């Protein structure tokens, strides 16, 4: 990376940091309590070109760097996981187009996503096909120049607010992974046969929209298929390799936010005539938390660099980064609650929200059990 690019990225990240501190942090608790999708944060991202970070200037973006994107996600997640997820999902939903789209498709779809004019989501999981996406039952039948998609998708982040949705469906129902194809659905809210049912009552990321998507013979032009029929599963796996470092970054941010708050609290809270930060038991907890966060951040940085370099070893390192960072987020936020004691257990203080938000990072983009399978498979194949 040249000095000019590095300086530009530093300026962008400083802008993100200021927005996170001044605009997003004051909204975090209310977003969690109301459980309402924060359209004001979307408008903020649009006005400040935050949605442009995952995209190159050629397609209307301002960067295209995974390193910068994931640093931005971490920075926002330190104050509000829900708000960081809006940026992460905008990139996730566009990755299939970036990876497998033709030049015509990229120029047609990406500028509206990069500007935030259209929100984007990624529809792979189903109620019976989460960790086993090849077992999906949603299918697409071709009729001339169009396909008709029938089925449903579950746990789709942003699915109820998105304008553009990348959908994976079987074009050969007799096959598993080799029968999957990928499609870009535009202006989904206007499509006949499409509906989105928002899922309520989540443990964490409560302001994020999570939905079940239903397709009843929803028509999509053949020109919106990404790659050839049967390419979809490979596209989906390449997308997850790129997106897992982003979830690791989110986890790292949540952990950092909890650590920072717990450290501040420990220096102010008095027990037995001195601050609890003066007790070795608390010092050792904070030291372990700091070490785990720093180690996770280095893994996120390495995986992000590999995304930018198109490194063939990405699958392995992305899985490690996601596994370590999300387990760290759960451990660090739990310890932060412990340091705050009874105060940590009520929603007046942010660490209980951070603990709830941390849990999802161990689940989505592939559960941590799946990450261990990916890591072990690579190790044993050498």
User: Which residue numbers are catalytic?
Assistant: 365
Judge whether 218 and 169 are in contact, CB under 8 Å: no
Instruction: Please tell me whether residue 364 adopts helix, strand or coil conformation.
Output: coil
Tokens of 290: 């700091």
Quick count: other Cβ atoms within 10 Å of Cβ 35? 15
Closest Cα to residue 251, out of 328, 316, 363?
Answer: 328
Q: Are the beta carbons of 204 and 358 closer than 8 angstroms?
A: yes
Q: Measuring CA to CA, which residue among 337, 322, 321, 255 is closest to residue 290?
A: 255
Q: What whole-number distance in Å separates Cα of residue 189 and Cα of residue 121?
A: 13
CB burial class (10 A; 0-12, 13-18, 19+) of residue 129? Answer: middle
Tokens of 151: 């089925």
Which are the contacts of 41, defined by CB distance < 8 A and separation ≥ 6?
23, 24, 27, 31, 83, 86
Find tokens 């792979």 and name the residue: 124
């Amino acid at each position: 990376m040249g000095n000019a690019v590095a300086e530009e990225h530093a300026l962008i990240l400083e802008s993100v940091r200021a927005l996170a501190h001044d605009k997003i942090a004051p909204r975090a608790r209310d977003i969690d309590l109301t459980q309402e999708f924060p359209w004001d944060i979307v408008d903020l991202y649009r006005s400040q070109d935050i949605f442009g970070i995952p995209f190159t200037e050629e397609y209307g973006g301002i960067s295209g760097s995974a390193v910068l994107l994931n640093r931005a996600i971490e920075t926002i997640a330190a104050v509000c996981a829900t708000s960081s997820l809006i940026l992460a999902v905008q990139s996730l939903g566009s990755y299939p187009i970036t990876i497998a789209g033709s030049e015509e498709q990229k120029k047609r779809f990406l500028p509206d996503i990069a500007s935030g004019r259209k929100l984007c989501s990624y529809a792979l999981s189903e109620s019976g096909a989460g960790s086993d996406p090849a077992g999906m039952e949603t299918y697409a039948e071709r009729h001339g120049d169009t396909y008709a998609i029938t089925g449903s998708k579950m746990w789709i982040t942003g699915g109820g607010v998105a304008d553009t949705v990348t959908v994976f469906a079987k074009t050969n129902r007799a096959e598993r992974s080799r029968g999957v194809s990928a499609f870009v659905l535009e202006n989904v809210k206007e499509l006949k046969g499409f509906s989105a049912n928002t899922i309520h009552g989540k443990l964490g990321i409560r302001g994020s929209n999570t939905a079940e998507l239903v397709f009843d013979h929803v028509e999509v032009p053949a020109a919106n298929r990404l790659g050839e029929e049967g390419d979809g599963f490979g596209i989906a796996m390449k997308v997850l390799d790129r997106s897992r470092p982003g979830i690791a970054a989110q986890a790292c941010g949540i952990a950092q936010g909890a650590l920072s708050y717990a450290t501040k609290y420990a220096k102010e809270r008095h027990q037995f005539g001195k601050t609890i930060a003066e007790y070795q038991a608390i010092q050792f907890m904070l030291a372990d938390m700091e070490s785990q966060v720093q180690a996770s951040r280095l893994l996120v940085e390495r995986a992000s660099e590999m995304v930018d370099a198109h490194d063939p070893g990405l699958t392995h390192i992305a899985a490690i980064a996601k596994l370590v960072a999300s387990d760290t987020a759960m451990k660090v936020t739990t310890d932060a609650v412990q340091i705050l004691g009874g105060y940590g257990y009520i929603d007046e203080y942010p660490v209980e929200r951070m603990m709830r938000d941390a849990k999802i990072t161990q689940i989505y983009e592939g559960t941590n059990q799946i990450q261990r399978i990916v890591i072990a498979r690579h190790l044993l194949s050498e």
